[in-house]
């Protein structure tokens, strides 16, 4: 189900094709000399490994915990003797984290994640989705540079790359309930910590108390996920990543947009006519409407392959769901909305 209508991201990305980097104290960014990414990654790996081998956490708190949270997490520096105190309750971070490897900006990056609730029952976000989280960002000197105790919504495309790489490894809440006072309670949600090299964080940018080329970390509670469609053209944004690299990029030096079917230097995920054939993408998708009467015990439909919800409303227990289905009318392996030779308008 798509709920996110993220106009701010469109403005940010169409105008500049650059990340907003709005997640964690991103004020007054200062750029310095650009280092080689591969060489810097090696340095960052050393700093991350040193931190993980030099700190432990209260692991027992998260065993059989039905409602874990980052508020329960305490990370402590290892004593000078190098032995984890009270090993029945505490655990060395290096022994608990998972190593992940991704390619970003033509560089192999290693980062670490600590999953504190691997049984979280919700869905995992795509790299381009909108998420609801509470979080705390801190340096490897354990200085907190930003936090949000009350859940906030973020567009993953607008954050530093590490968030897009980490979030798909975690699940959101299994369910939630709304109280009369407007508060929302989330059950069995994702909880974790990401430890990022500078190349997946701010790299050469010094910002908000974070030095340039600093490895950083974020604790987070992952509550809710909304499938994003940045241009509201009916095609989820993650499906408009043509290169499959989990990024929407713009090569400033060559002035070329990535993931751009019609070559107009507007990436498909913010392009209302992806194939440039004069028929808007939304009109090249087959529409459908479902009516579900919950008063009669009717269940919501199971959507078909390449069928996506674009709108829903409810009145008196009757739910109206509008969907679109991606079609390949000539069966040539190219969907109609990406085929400049197909100009079928399904809304006519």
User: What phi and psi values does residue 286 have, to the nearest 5 degrees?
Assistant: -80, 120
Q: Is the pTM above the cut of 0.85?
A: yes
Cα separation, 237 vs 271, whole angstroms: 11
For 7-226, which CATH class? Answer: alpha beta
Which of 20, 2, 13, 11 has the alpha carbon at shortest distance from 260? 13
Question: Any idea where the domains of the chain sit in the sequence?
Answer: 7-226, 275-348
- The per-residue pLDDT string of the chain (348 residues; one tens digit each, 9 = 90 and over) reads 344 334 333 434 433 333 334 444 344 566 677 899 999 999 999 999 999 999 999 999 999 999 999 999 999 999 999 999 999 999 999 999 999 999 999 999 999 999 999 999 899 999 999 999 999 999 999 999 999 999 999 999 999 999 999 999 999 999 998 887 778 899 999 999 999 999 999 999 988 889 999 999 999 999 999 999 999 999 999 999 999 999 997 665 555 678 999 999 899 999 999 999 999 999 999 999 999 999 999 999 999 999 999 999 999 999 999 999 999 999 999 999 999 999 999 999
Q: How many helices (H) and strands (E) does the chain have?
A: 3, 18
User: At residue 225, what are phi and psi to the nearest 5 degrees?
Assistant: -130, 135
């Amino acid at each position: 189900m798509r709920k996110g209508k993220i106009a701010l991201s469109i403005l940010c990305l169409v105008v500049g094709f650059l990340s907003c980097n709005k997640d964690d104290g991103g004020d007054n960014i200062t750029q310095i000399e650009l280092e080689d990414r591969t060489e810097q990654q090696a340095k960052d790996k050393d700093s991350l490994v040193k931190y993980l081998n030099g700190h432990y956490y209260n692991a027992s708190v998260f065993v059989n915990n039905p409602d874990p949270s980052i508020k329960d997490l305490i990370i402590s520096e290892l004593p000078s003797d190098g032995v984890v105190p009270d090993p029945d309750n505490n655990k060395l971070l290096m022994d608990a984290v998972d190593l992940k490897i991704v390619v970003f900006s033509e560089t192999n990056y290693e980062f670490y994640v600590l999953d504190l609730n691997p049984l979280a029952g919700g869905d995992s976000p795509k790299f381009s989705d909108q998420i609801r989280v509470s979080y705390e960002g801190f340096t490897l000197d354990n200085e907190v540079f930003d936090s949000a105790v009350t859940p906030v919504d973020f567009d993953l495309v607008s954050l530093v790359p590490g968030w897009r790489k980490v979030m798909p490894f975690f699940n959101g809440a299994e369910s939630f309930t709304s109280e009369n006072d407007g508060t929302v309670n989330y059950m069995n949600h994702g909880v974790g910590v990401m430890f990022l090299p500078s190349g997946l964080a701010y790299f050469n940018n010094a910002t908000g108390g974070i030095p340039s080329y600093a490895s950083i970390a974020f604790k987070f509670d992952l509550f809710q996920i909304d499938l994003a469609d940045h241009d509201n053209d009916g095609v989820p944004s993650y499906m408009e990543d043509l290169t499959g690299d989990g990024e929407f990029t713009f090569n400033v030096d060559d002035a070329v947009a990535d993931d751009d079917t019609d070559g107009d230097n507007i990436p498909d995920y913010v392009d209302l006519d992806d194939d440039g054939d004069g028929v808007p993408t939304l009109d090249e998708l087959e529409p459908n409407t479902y009516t579900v009467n919950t008063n009669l015990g009717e269940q919501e439909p199971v959507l078909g392959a390449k069928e996506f919800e674009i709108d829903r409303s409810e009145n008196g227990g009757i739910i109206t769901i509008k969907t679109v289905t991606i079609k390949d009318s000539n069966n040539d392996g190219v969907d109609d909305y990406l085929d400049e030779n197909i100009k079928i308008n399904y809304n006519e």
